[in-house]
Structure 1
Amino acid sequence: MFVLEVSDVNSSIVWSNQKRFNYLQFEMKAIFDGLDNLLNRPVYVHDSKMGIVQNIITANVSIIPRAGGIIRDYGYFKEYPCKEGYNRENPYEESAKCVINDDQFVTLIEHGDWVTVKFRSTSGGFQKFFNIDNQAMPYMTNYYSGLSFIKTVEFRFDFKGPKHCSEVDKRTCPFGATILDIPDLLRNGPIIPRWLGWTDTLSGVGEYYMEVFKLGPNRVGRLVETTPTNPIFSTTVLHTNGTIKYPQYAPSGSGMYRYVADALDDNEEPLTRKAIPNFHGIVKYEIVFVQTVDATQPILGWTEISLKESFSTQRPLEDGDRLRVWVRATDLMGNQRADSTIIKVDGSKPRLHAYTSKVELNTVNGPYKYSSKVVFSASDNDSGVHMIGFDIFVGTNPNNFATMKKSIEDAECRNVDGVCFLSSQTVFLDNCWMLVGRTYLDKMSAIVNVTAYNQAMLGTSATINLGPVNKLLGLEKYDGPKNPRIVTKTHTGFRITWNLPEKQSCYGRADILIILSRKTAKGEAVLHMYYTPGTSNHFDILGLNPETEYTLGLNFQAPGTMAQQTYFLTTKTGAYEPPNDSSSYSGDDGPVSPAFTLHIIISTHLCVRWFSKQ
């Protein structure tokens, strides 16, 4: 996997030599700088808000002309609208973040292609007006047309390495051009290499990388690098159009040295030596089998095996046998490292004692909001109990089907051959795993089927009865909000507030339905219904008639069920009082929108990744 990432908003062009990208990830954050010293909101403006209303990201693949020419071909284009909840009805007043993943990017990228990514953020907002001459009824909504700001990042692809001018056209070579030259090979003092004439027509030459290796004779007298994977000196030199600042290296002693410049073809033999077979630098693997658990490295009995990362063999083993396998590796320099693993043969299943198990429903201080626990004993004298799995069954006949499967590996243990294994086992259960429809609470029961596994993954199972699910906390019926009351009252409305249960049941919060009614002059009932999420603890009702008596019904409604009534309240709106500040109203027939100046600053943080599968 290869990742190409940009997080600097000032980087407008990024070069890459990677192919086969199939995944994109975008991140951006726009910041809104609000208005200062605004006038107080007039009485006829009920609500107003300004901020960021839209973020859009576009990706466009521009293809190098396949048939030649200078006009680039159209490739791939896609627009990614950010769906984070902000829009002209809900502008974000401070900042708006957007994260988009596209795992279906399968466009072919070839040498010379571009991928242009644009990040556009737009501001806006609204003003909501009331008609103060008509009992503060909603009048109209004005929307602001804001400003847009765009940041652009361009990824360009170059799949061809630099070339020396002598390979392209010697007539273009500057005076003194050379692939790699070391003047005065036999000398005392620092060695200064030089090169000149390297070019790259598309992205240009960026830098040069140089390594120095010390040479020494191998077993057959041939000169090779003494440390082929670890140069004694390395450096990076930036390319310039003027004079190149060539590096220099002063050897620590006499001898022969080899200079290698990355991406410069000096016609030397590659670093990997075919004369020395190896696997990742390892020249020899050895193995030995010891019929004991003793961890002391053996001296005798080693057998050389093939240069691979795996080895297969067959040996007769019986239940209860212990076999330690040693592997030793030798590298090019003769260094050795050995390691071992123990093989234990276990053909018998664990013992699980369900008849001594204990069930504690609705335990205190469990890991879940509503917890129960089962305690039982499980053991295995040969390889120890390695893992516990369990299935939960709920129904009128809970043996028929499982509603939850889970396993644990980090519980109490005892020592077997120096390894910690499970013995007395405590399994915590989430009561919400046994969730059923409310109408079935008094009919359903639950059982848990536990299975103990040893290290050979042989298992023994037993069933433990949990009893009726209506005894489990968290599954009781939700009884709705408590203690509703009127806390704020005006001539056009009031606020109703209530208390919620301290812990949410397994069924989640039920929506709250408020039914408001009043009598007309003819005695007819007029009803209004308001919904609010079950997480709310208050609701504001506005736009009512002054000095009018209202009746409120507080109800709750769980998904898929009828609303259930809990409380009735009666209240009366206050008397109308004209505003003292006449300057807040224009005197015209309708509300007036104040003049304003919108100033927006958007800083964009972006992170674009392409992943390529190798």
Structure 2
Amino acid sequence: MTALCSYHSPCFPGTCADTVTCQCHEGFSGINGNQRCRTMTPGNSPIITQCTSILANIDRTGQKMEKYRFVTDSSQPNSTRVDTMWVNQNDYNYINVEFAAFSLSPENIAQPKYITGFKFGIVSGKIQIDLQKVDRNDPNQPFVSQNETQNCRYQPGSLNPNDDVFHCNFTDENFDRLLENGDNLTLTVIAENGGFRELNTPTGHTQDYFYGQSSTKSTMFRFDSIKPYHCLLDKPNPCSSKALDVTEDITKGHFQNKFHHNRGLLNPVARYLHYDFMTKYEKKVPLELDDKTGNRTLQRIPNVFGIVKFEYNFRNSNQGNTTPLSWIPVSKAFSENQTFNIGRRDGDTINFWVKATDVLGNHGIDMTQISFDSSPPEDLRKADVIFQRNVKATNFSFSSRLLVDTYDRDSGIHKIKWELIANNSNMVFRSGEIPGNKTNVNSGPINLTIAATYDNGVRLKWVLPPTCYERTTIIVKSLSINGRLLTWTVDKNANWFDLTGLDPETNYNLSLITNYGSQMSDPVVLQFRTIASPAALTGGAIAGISIAFLILLGIIVAMVVLWRLGRLSVIKEDIQRRATVVRKNIANRFSAAHINETYGCDDIYVYGQMEFNETDSKFISSNDIVLDVMLTSGRFADIYKARYLPHNNKAKQNVIAKTLKSGYSEENLLMMKAKINFFAKEVGDHPNIIISCIPTPEFNIASFNQTLGCLRKSPTSLSEINGDSRASG
């Protein structure tokens, strides 16, 4: 085996936990030989910070004057979204593309002795030019007229990567392609990262190059030189009474008109200005021709995210939840805040409405509720707090439970703080908080988990939090990576649900929302992946199933024949006779085991099938047992020194409790149950053996760690305990 963390199989950048386990640094992968940790992952791709594209028309002769140009600077250079620009001029013969990029180098890398040097950064930059033209025979199927890739003038390379900001400026001064109406010209910038690591080998130094990632950003110029035409001009039947109708309304709940805001439709209108960089000539519209009248002039329309007016209203919830008809303007124009002075009492709930209006008169209305409670909860009484010992709650010993019964007259309980204090020293050695049924309409399902995963769905489980609001429905939504959205409505009191109809081996994003009437909770999100569909039965499997079915059918036919001939009763009598002989042999062996400590475990398994009789006087409540300290441990059972404290305060005594270990198997459970029944029924009352056993519904001990056990009087020596542990634990 080749040793890791050496020049044979470098674990760099990464760490070796031992001689066989390598953990590559975040952003790197690779598992075999010299390929280990050598590939940069997609999350470690270069970051493009600038992307500027210029199209221009410059005379090729004479003074080489620039007639016009089109410049675009990407607002989201580090995204895969293609920036699309519509151009109404075709005569471009000059292209310039400029971009900047950098690569994040990993931090806090430990350099082992066999690595003498390393470096990460940008290793290359390229520009790709694609021109698609309209096919005369089929306009819907464009053809590629140009597809070429040009290298940036500066190419750092893997041995000397640029660990700073990489700049590339590409110019095609002789672009000679004919640009026509309907053409698409796409300019794509490409930045690739990488680097090297230098290994110290017995024969000298060698370099390994890292396999990097590429990032791209594209700008598409779409050429449209045909004069626009609107069907409004159709005579005698125009298509509409408006040439432009902006119908996108305010986004409810966010108070934004994204269409107006994102496109800057309310910004000031800049004066027309064209500057010819070659001739230093400036073109502009005379001031007297600017639009200075009407609702939309060159001036900015004051707004907040496309909203030009905010109004509000409020009233007590006992007056209804219907939307008000009258509105009050906010005290400060374009303010998103308002101060209220409302008369209220503890327990009141106030409805608040906000109305937002855009420049076209579209409006959005949203409502929220606020409940008031300034009074403390009711005082706790001693009877309101119950401390339970030895409850079946966890897999750990000595579990206890605290129950608190309290309430608040005007709202709910947010949380309950508790402390566990030593009686002798008053030292607080444990404290915590218990969540209450706080008044929170935003409380969605909690502890959302995937209980089971299938090829066509999953089973969800969750816990419904307590709330003072009435739930109406639970909405489950799943969205696959390919954009498929599914929605289910679940019963308001359900705590599990099966999602079906999903695709196998597909990643899904899931959200659960609880509806409280007209309001809803914050979404609880979860991600999961469905498993692969089971393989179809092969021809051999189908043949095997067919043969098994024929054999079973033959057995059934044989049984019917034997029954008709009267031979079946003879076989039954023979089986009963053999079973009687087996029972007598087992009984004889157990009689011997009663007086011989070397009894066989196989014999005792017979008693594992017996049921406990909880009405028997030998059985006691687990609440009467207190485990003090573990004395020893056997193969599958632990032995504790314990105290028997019955409720009647009689017969208090020290005992030994034997319990199954956490994580016990079915075989361990059967053995323990068999021993309890064997000693209880065969040995009977004995001053030093069995006092009583502890029953529970599923034959698990109700106290401490969900195990089963018997109680014994304290032994006279530790060797008795160890001996018993070896014999039966």
- TM-score range (shorter-chain normalised) is 0.3 to 0.5
The higher relative CO (CA closer than 8 Å, separation ≥ 6) is in 1
Q: Which protein is bigger by CA-based radius of gyration?
A: 2
- More strand as a share of residues: 1
Tell me the TM-score normalized by structure 2.
Answer: 0.31
TM-score between both structures, scaled by the size of structure 1: 0.36
